[in-house]
Amino acid sequence: MADSGAGPSGDDIINSYHLPRPLPLWLNSNCAKHIVKGNFMTLSARPKTVEQGEWIAHQVVEHYRNLWNFVQVVHAKEETGNTICNPTTCPRMSAGANHSFTWLNSRREPVELPAHEYMTLMQRWITGKIDDTAIFPTDPAGVSYSHNPAISSTPLSQLTNPGEPDWVGKRSGFPEKFIDICQMIFRQMFRVYAHLYWAHFVEPYYHLNLEKQLNSCFSHFLLTATALDMLGKQELEPMQPLIDLWAANGTFPPESKVYEYASIRAGERLIQLAGVTQ
């Protein structure tokens, strides 16, 4: 890891991100700390007996609840009628100058929306999915379990009728499109986190003493989303430098998938730049 031989230097990689200078505060490792320490992977590891679809459903809901606590802070109306995130502060759903996200309108055309409106629409969309028992079934009677070839006498292939399609969560009553929907939800949640970091890390989270909470929830989100293949490397781009930093400072354990997506050199260089010498 400390090998400084071939390949681009940490600076080269950081420069390739085209980050604004001075660098955003959330890349200062003094501000990238957490309210919990230790291996978060224990929290997102699927229990062996639990069916994969059931576990993904659980993680979607948990992370959604977490994220919306933070959104509420920038969405709450004050007596003045103003919200912290509003069309003046955030005319676009942006994650820095290089990224902005569009919403598909009813004619499925991409439109730019103020972040506040975008997030409101997204909240409505996500809760519409999560509360739909045809997508996220809640009946305890329909629960299945994970297939264990070492224990089960029935081979997995015989659990579905030949010729019939199989999909994750099928035996627990999740629909065929379930995984796609969950991936979309995770992608949308990632966009919200990206906007919160790029536009609101200082205003208001740092000022309100919430940045450690935000860091912990987001790093846990990244560990979970990548471990469950809900987010791929290319989708992480707007937050790549923070991922590098967390991989380098030990937030992400080396055996985690998100660690593989990180550039340790860039992360180490960021730590160096912050003047953390210990």
Residue closer to another protein (CB basis): 66 or 120: 66
Question: Is 18 annotated as contributing to ligand binding?
Answer: no
> CA-to-CA distance for 222 and 132, rounded, in angstroms?
25
DSSP label at residue 24:
P
Q: Indicate which single residue of 13, 51, 123, 170 sits in contact with another protein (rule: CB under 8 A).
A: 51
Residues 69-88 that bind another protein (CB under 8 A): 69-70, 72-73, 76-80, 84
Q: How far apart are the first and last CA of the chain?
A: 17
- Give the nearest distance from C-beta 25 to another protein in angstroms: 5
Contact call for residues 118 and 103 (beta carbons, < 8 A): yes
For residue 163, state whether it binds another protein (rule: CB under 8 A). no
- The bridge status of strand 110-111 relative to strand 93-94 is unpaired
Residue closer to another protein (CB basis): 157 or 209: 209
Residues 176-195 that bind another protein (CB under 8 A): none
Question: Is 58 annotated as contributing to ligand binding?
Answer: no
| 111, β-bridge pairs | 103
Residues 95-124 that bind another protein (CB under 8 A): none
Q: Indicate which single residue of 204, 233, 235, 237 sits in contact with another protein (rule: CB under 8 A).
A: 204
Contact call for residues 147 and 159 (beta carbons, < 8 A): yes
Residue closer to another protein (CB basis): 91 or 253: 253
Torsion angle, CA of 29/97/114/181, rounded to 10 degrees? -70
Residue 75, token pair as written in the block: 């969405």
- Give the nearest distance from C-beta 205 to another protein in angstroms: 9
Residues 206-265 that bind another protein (CB under 8 A): 206-210, 212-213, 216-217, 220, 227, 248-251, 253-257, 264
The region of 91-99, 102-110, 192-200, 267-275 touching another protein under the rule CB under 8 A is 267-275
- Give the nearest distance from C-beta 26 to another protein in angstroms: 9
- Give the nearest distance from C-beta 165 to another protein in angstroms: 22
> Cα 175 to chain center, whole Å?
23
| 103, β-bridge pairs | 111
CA distances for 110 relative to 88, 92, 114, 121, 155, angstroms: 21, 13, 13, 14, 46
> CA-to-CA distance for 38 and 26, rounded, in angstroms?
20
For residue 149, state whether it binds another protein (rule: CB under 8 A). no
For residue 138, state whether it binds another protein (rule: CB under 8 A). yes
For residue 5, state whether it binds another protein (rule: CB under 8 A). no
Residue closer to another protein (CB basis): 27 or 113: 27
- Give the nearest distance from C-beta 174 to another protein in angstroms: 11
Would you call 83 exposed, middle or buried from its count of C-beta atoms within 10 A (0-12, 13-18, 19+)? middle
List, as residue ranges, the binding site for Zn(2+). Answer: 85, 90, 195, 200
